[in-house]
Amino acid sequence: MKFANDTTRLFAQLVACLALLSATEVARSQSTTYCNPLNIDYAYGVIPGAIAQGKHRSTADPVIAMFKGDYYLFSTNQFGYWWSRDMNSWKFVARRFLKSYHQTYDDLCAPAVLVAGDSMYVIGSTYTKDFPLWVSGDPKANVWHEAVDSFQVGAWDPALFLDDDKRLYIYFGSSNTYPTYGQEIDRRTLQPIGERKEMIRLHDDEHGWERFGEHADNTFLRPFIEGSWMTKYNGKYYLQYGAPGTEFSGYGDGVYVGENPLGPFEYQSHNPFSLKPGGFARGAGHGATYQDAFDNWWHVGTIAISVKNNFERRIGFWPAGFDTDGVLYCNTAYGDFPQFLPDGKADHLQSRFTGWMILNYNKPAVVSSTLGGYKPNFAVDENIKTYWSARTGDRGEWLQSDLGATCTVHALQINYADQDAELMGKQQNIYHQYVVSTSIDGKRWTGLIDKRKNLTDVPHEYVELKAPVRARFVKIENVHVPTGKFALSGFRIFGKGDCAVPDTVSNFVALRGDSERRNAWIKWQQVDDAVGYTIYSGIAPDKLYTNVLVYHANEYYFTAMDKTRTYYFQIEAFNENGIGQRSQILKVE
C-alpha cells in the first residue's frame, strides 16, 4: 500500500512539474523578467560627514525618462547616466556635469530630467545659483551643451515639469525644517518667474509613515521632506515627495493632488503611494513616476542598505498606475522577487510577479572560509544589510546552498557585498567572474552558469535560466571580484518546490489603541509550513495597495496609518511552493 501511495504522489508531482514547465515557457515567450535591486555598475564613494565603516557602492534619487524610444536613468553621484532599450540591460555613458567637482564623490546629485520634444534637459541639486542647465538632442552619443550656464533657482532635489500648455515649472526642497517649493520657469530664458511658492509640508503628527526613524519613533530628528516629482493625469496634478529619511526601511513616496500646477494641493487618501518596508531590498522613496513604451506607469525609487554608510543605497523600480478613482498607487508586492518586464499594455493592479518563490531562505549553507562574524547564513537570510564574507577574494572561494529538497529552479540573484573594498569613484573597467553548479545529491555536480569570461560589472547579478532545472544543492564559486573579499549579501535561488502551498492564515487581528492612532499591532497564528507572510493594507477593501513582506514571524508593528482614517487589512502566507489563499479582510476603525 505504501508503494502505491508513493507512486501516486510521485506521478502527481511529475504532472505538476510538467504543467509548471509548460506555463513557465508560455510566460517566458511573452516577457523576460527582472529582479530588484537594479543590476547596474554603481559607483564607489563616501559622502563627507556621513558615518562610514568602509568604502562601498551607492546611488539614490533616481529618475527614469523615455526619450526617442529609449529609457534613460539618472541618479546621484554616478559621473554619468545609463540608457536601455528594454529596462533590462543598461549601458553606461560617462559624463561630468559639474563645472567643478571632487574627484571621488561630487557630481550630479538628485538630478531633475525633463523631456521636451526633441530635447532632454538635466540639472542637479545646488543651493547656489551658478549651476548649468544641460540640454541634449542625442544623450546616447553623450552630446550636451549648456542651455543656460547659470540657473537662477538654487534648488535642491529639483524636479522639472512641462505642462500641456508648454508652461514650465520646477519643484524642489530637501529639509526637515522647510517645505517643498514650486516656481514657474520662463521657457525662453529658462530663468524663474516671480517668487517661489510653498507647496506642501510634512504632517507627521497625522501621517504615521512620515515620522523619522527605522521604527517611526520620531525621537532623534524631525522627518525630512525631499525628492519632488510631478505627474499630470486626467487633468490633475500629482505632486510627489519622499519622506521621512533615506536611511530607513520605511522610506517612501507620498503624493498630493491639485487642479493647478502650483496648487493648492490636497493629501491623497492613499498614502504613501510607494512603500516597501519588508523583504530583502527595503525602501521605495525619492523616485520618479514614468511611462514605458506601452504607456504603462512605473515608479523608480531608492532602496536603503545603510550599513557601511548611512547613505549606502541602491535603485529599484515597480509597476504603478492610477485606479478608476484617479488614485496613484505603486505595486511593490513581492517587489524584490522576479517580476515580468513590460511587453504590452498591462493592468498594474494585477501583479507582475512570476510566482517563482525564494527556495533557500535560511536554509543550510556551507562555505570555503569565513571572515570573522560574517557567517554563511547571512547570505541566505533575505536581509540585504547582512552578508557572508570569505577570508579572501581569491579564485576558488565558494558558497553552497542546500534547498532542503529537490526543487525546480528558474532564476538566481547574486548580490555582492563590498567587504574591504579599496576602490573609490566611478569604475568602468571592473568585472565579476564566477561559476554556478547544481546537484541532486551533493556529490555529482552539473554546471549551470559559467561567467568565467564575463568582463562586466554585475554587483546585483540576476540570471533567468533559459530552461528551469531540478536541483537540491546550488553552489557558487568565485573566479574574480573587482576589489576586496568574495562576499555575498544575498545568494537568492528562485523557483518552485513540489509540496503544498500554506493554509490560509487564521486568528488575524490588528490592535489599534486610543493613545496612538497612527500604529497598529498586527498578529496572527503561525502557519506551520510558511516561510513568510505578506500583509496588505489600504483605505478600502478594493484599495489594499500597501503591503509588507514579513519573514519567520507572526506579528508586525505597522506604523504607516493616518491618525483619523479607517484601514483594511488582509494577509497571505507563502513558502517555497507558492502563495496560500488570503485571509478575510479585516476592518480597523
Instruction: Check residue 54 and give its pLDDT.
Output: 82
In the chain, how many H helices and how many E strands? 1, 38
Average pLDDT over residues 4-8: 42
Class of 33-340 per CATH? Answer: mainly beta
According to DSSP, the β-strands at 433-439 and 398-416 are unpaired
Nearest to 561 by CA among 517, 507, 498: 517
In this structure, CATH architecture of domain 509-588: Sandwich (2.60)
Euclidean distance between CA atoms 319 and 296, whole angstroms: 8
Burial state string for 297-333 with b = 16 or more CB within 10 A and e = fewer than 16: bbbbbbbbbbbbbbbbbbbbbbbbbbeeeebbbbbbb
The cell numbers describing 101, all together, are 567637482
Instruction: Check residue 252 and give its pLDDT.
Output: 98
**Three-state secondary-structure class, residue 577:** coil
Instruction: Check residue 49 and give its pLDDT.
Output: 59
Nearest to 32 by CA among 81, 74, 84: 84
Q: Which residue has the cell 518552485?
A: 496
Tell me which fold the domain 357-496 belongs to.
Jelly Rolls (2.60.120)
Q: How many CB atoms lie within 10 A of CB 543?
A: 18
Neighbour-count burial of 188, counting CB atoms closer than 10 A to its CB (0-12 exposed, 13-18 middle, 19+ buried): exposed
Please check whether residue 308 is in contact with residue 416, taking contact to mean a CB–CB distance below 8 angstroms.
no
Average pLDDT over the chain, rounded to whole? Answer: 92
pLDDT, tens digit (0-9, with 9 covering 90-100), for 359-417? 999 999 999 999 999 999 999 999 999 999 999 999 999 999 999 999 999 999 999 99
Euclidean distance between CA atoms 449 and 478, whole angstroms: 12
**Three-state secondary-structure class, residue 219:** coil
Please check whether residue 302 is in contact with residue 287, taking contact to mean a CB–CB distance below 8 angstroms.
yes
pLDDT, tens digit (0-9, with 9 covering 90-100), for 476-530? 999 999 999 999 999 999 999 999 999 999 999 999 988 999 999 999 999 999 9
Residue 559 has pLDDT above 70, yes or no: yes
Residue 54: CA count within 13 A, CB half-sphere = 12
